[in-house]
Amino acid sequence: MQIIPRLLLLCCCLISLPLLAQKKNASYKLHIKRATSAIKIDGVMDEQAWADAEMGSDFYMILPMDTSYANLRTTVRMAYDDKNIYLLVENYIPAKGYMVESLRRDFAFLKNDNFLMFMDPFDDQTNGFAFGANAAGAQWDGLMYDGGKVDLSWDNKWHSVVKNYDDKWVFEAVIPFKSIRYKKGIRQWGVNFGRNDLRTTEKSSWAPVPRQFPSASLAYTGILEWDAPPPDAGPNISLIPYALGGVAKDYIANSSPKWRRDVGMDAKVAVTSSLNLDLTVNPDFSQVDVDKQVTNLDRFELFFPEKRQFFLENGDQFTNFGYATLRPFFSRRIGLGVPIHFGARLSGKLNKDWRMGLMNMQTGKQEETGLPAQNFTVAALQRRVFSRSNIGFLFINKESLNYEPGKVPDVPIYSRYNRNMGVEYNLASSNNFWTGKALVLKSFSPDKTGKDIAHAANLQYTSRTWNIGWQHEYVGRNYNAEVGYVPRTGYIKMAPQVTRLFFPKSGNILSHGPQIMSTNFFDEHMKRTDNETQLSYAFVFRKRNTLTLWSSNTYIKLLQRFDPTNTGKDSLAVGTEHSWSTVGADYVSMPQSLFTYAFSTRYGGYYADGKRFMASSELGYRFQPYVSIAMTAVYNNIDLPQPWRNTSFWLVGPRLDVTMTNTLFFTGFMQYNEQQKNINLNTRFQWRYRPASDLFIVYTDNYLPEPFFVKNRALVLKLVYWLNL
């Protein structure tokens, strides 16, 4: 196979590229000293500790251009004592007032006036923590991974206050040492500070970051220099019990209401200052938002992201192994329609170079379908190489307990076990210009042998004006990842892409440029089955509104029967070939306005010489900072020959967010999916009555739209309490 020598060549390139890398912003240092007085978190800089602390200023502009100092002045001070890290930031503004979405936690960075801090306690430029707030006081926190990505599902105990003045807004925060992980004795941490101001459309950072990268990029952190090794956090054990009551009723089955009375607990134990043990017994995730529905016109399984915090927190070692459509581990496979009895995860840093993760979950048996009790074990080990690259190993085992397939008649047969193991090399050069990955995976199943290997690689170069990438994948027809997300097997994929950007020196356009990308699929004999080539041209305006125009050409040879409307009508035959062209446009309005909008449209051919028109829009209005109203609508019209003829779908979803304070939230939304013939209503009230402790009241309805009829509904009340021992 031609792809194997190409893979080996690309792997050699990936391994050698870090040797060409540059060093980070080592000359940018902020010295942190022990506080000389007690500090009250009130947004008022009247303590002696702040007068004695070193000040960081002279921020650099990232946007609109990264060639000068920022126009807006920002100052940063940090201090510490035996238990906490303290942060005080003065964000100067040209006129009184601010622009924010709401008081909702973990807001969108580019849609709010905000300040964020990015900490790298291991100074490995790969993993860390992020804390911040918008100008109205809404908190923002997350775990950092892959050198610049932030997992906002992470939640821990810390406190902050924002106070607004005529010429500035002040952000003051206290972060307990127990809330983060760091290696004892290290006196230099990576750190950077980022600020976004919507009225001036200026994004800036303390240590300079090239405009093509996010301000969260750990490749460009400065240094936080401690006057002494950070204090030991001491014993660090947290118990997080919950109590839940609820009722659900299935109106279609006309069954009696089912009452719920559950209790459970999570626990967090710091094995070391950088290694954490998470335990859970009888977990419940009823407070999690339902999935955002989409119109499904795809031939393969759709991906819906994980939202359960236990699986997301510090789980990037597991979930980021592989690619978007080649994931050997996908946590939503665990507890799918069955209860989780208990679980444990040990994860974190062993030292600056080694990182590990070990997780075990036990689910119960589902009597209705005969699905047996199952055990899931996932183990990951990662070794840093060069400056920011790493080599990772992953092992996954799914085991059905006390189960013999086919023993009980009229019950579906499930696999006795499924195992996956793999190794991957992740490239990240010191200056972040070169990134890439190379991986090999193998599955083990009792009924599938041979052709059970997958391997893939990609390499990407990102400069200010060029973004050039290549990716290819091979997935054997018997490769089986039952705990993963691999929507198709038995293929070879090649996907090059090139983007060129231009930057006018003046005018309303900040940048513009073309992109060409081509995605090609072949069977294992290198016969083409799919191709999509797309040419687009994008404009980014100085007010941060964007416009993209595109056209594409598509070819598909069906490898299985497919209903092009996904409504259960007749299907196109295996082996039939289809090709068509499409044009489209996407626009997003500037985020500074109280009224925001976006639209997307496409028109062109479709399967069986048909036509497809799609239009979607999202409208939003905010009464800042308390109320945000949004409406999304998607319309699809498909014109095909008999027996489908003309088919149209509406997908409509209004949403209301009310943030009465930064600890009291109400969210309500409805989703009408004409394709699925379902109306979903979900409301959630959340009261954060103390840091990381919440009261949730969640109400959910599902209706049949024609005739209008209640299918099921549920009401849940859940109380969570975070206790530090």
**CA 104, 110, 115, 121: dihedral to nearest 10 degrees?**
100
Does the structure show a pLDDT above 60 at 16? no
> What's residue 414's pLDDT?
83
Q: Shortest CA distance to 559 belongs to which of 491, 495, 474, 481?
A: 491
Model confidence over 438-483: pLDDT tens digits?
A: 999 999 998 888 899 999 999 999 999 999 999 999 999 999 999 9
> What's residue 410's pLDDT?
63
Q: Sign of the CA dihedral 286, 332, 265, 721? A: negative
What is d(CA 410, CA 178) in angstroms, rounded to the nearest whole number? 53
- Residue 24's pLDDT band, with cuts at 50, 70 and 90, is low
What is d(CA 308, CA 312) in angstroms, rounded to the nearest whole number? 6
> What's residue 614's pLDDT?
97
What whole-number percentage of the chain has pLDDT above 70? Answer: 96
> What's residue 3's pLDDT?
47
Q: Sign of the CA dihedral 95, 101, 102, 103? A: negative
Model confidence over 49-86: pLDDT tens digits?
A: 999 999 999 999 998 888 899 999 999 999 999 999 99
Does the structure show a pLDDT above 50 at 668? yes
Kindly report the pTM of this predicted structure: 0.86
- Is the separation of the CB atoms in 60 and 66 below 8 Å? yes
- Phi-psi label, residue 311: left if phi above 0, alpha if psi -120 to 50, beta otherwise: alpha
Question: Residue 281 has which token pair?
Answer: 């017994």
Does the structure show a pLDDT above 50 at 21? no
Does the structure show a pLDDT above 50 at 519? yes
What is d(CA 286, CA 252) in angstroms, rounded to the nearest whole number? 22
- Farthest-apart Cα atoms in the chain, separation: 81
- Residue 1's pLDDT band, with cuts at 50, 70 and 90, is very low
Q: Picking from 331-340, 502-511, 613-622, 629-638, which range would have the lowest pLDDT averaged per residue? A: 331-340
What is d(CA 529, CA 129) in angstroms, rounded to the nearest whole number? 44
- Is the separation of the CB atoms in 369 and 399 below 8 Å? no
Please tell me the number of Cα atoms within 13 Å of 516 on its side-chain side. 1
> What's residue 19's pLDDT?
46
What whole-number percentage of the chain has pLDDT above 90? Answer: 69
Q: Sign of the CA dihedral 405, 408, 410, 412? A: negative
Phi and psi, residue 17, nearest 5°? -60, -40
Q: Picking from 31-35, 60-64, 144-148, which range would have the lowest pLDDT averaged per residue? A: 144-148
For residue 406, what are the CA distances in angstroms to 245, 415, 447? 38, 10, 14
Residues 6 or more apart whose Cβ sits within 8 Å of residue 435: 427, 428, 429, 459, 460, 462
Residues 6 or more apart whose Cβ sits within 8 Å of residue 112: 99, 100, 101, 134, 135, 138, 196, 198
The three-point CA angle 282-283-285 to 5° equals 145
What distance lies between CA 195 and its chain's CA centroid? 21
* Per-domain residue ranges of the chain: 35-226, 305-500
- Cβ atoms within 10 Å, residue 75: 19
Q: Which CATH number fits domain 305-500: 2.60.40, 2.40.160, 2.60.120, 1.10.10?
A: 2.40.160
Over residues 323-341, the mean pLDDT reads 90
> What's residue 233's pLDDT?
80
> What's residue 93's pLDDT?
95
Helices within 547-614 (DSSP H only): none
What distance lies between CA 392 and its chain's CA centroid? 20
The chain-wide mean pLDDT, for the chain, equals 90
Does the structure show a pLDDT above 60 at 595? yes
Does the structure show a pLDDT above 50 at 277? yes
- Cβ atoms within 10 Å, residue 702: 19
Beta bridge partners of 139: 133
Over residues 135-142, the mean pLDDT reads 94
What is d(CA 145, CA 126) in angstroms, rounded to the nearest whole number? 6
Radius of gyration of the chain (CA): 26
Residues 6 or more apart whose Cβ sits within 8 Å of residue 704: 677, 678, 679, 710, 711
Model confidence over 346-388: pLDDT tens digits?
A: 998 888 889 999 999 999 988 777 788 999 999 999 999 988 8
Over residues 620-635, the mean pLDDT reads 93
Q: Picking from 10-14, 285-289, 630-634, which range would have the lowest pLDDT averaged per residue? A: 10-14
Beta bridge partners of 658: 627, 666
- Residue 124's pLDDT band, with cuts at 50, 70 and 90, is confident
Over residues 563-585, the mean pLDDT reads 93
Class (C level, CATH) for 35-226: mainly beta
Which residue type sits at 349? K
Confirm whether 35-226 and 305-500 share one CATH topology. Answer: no
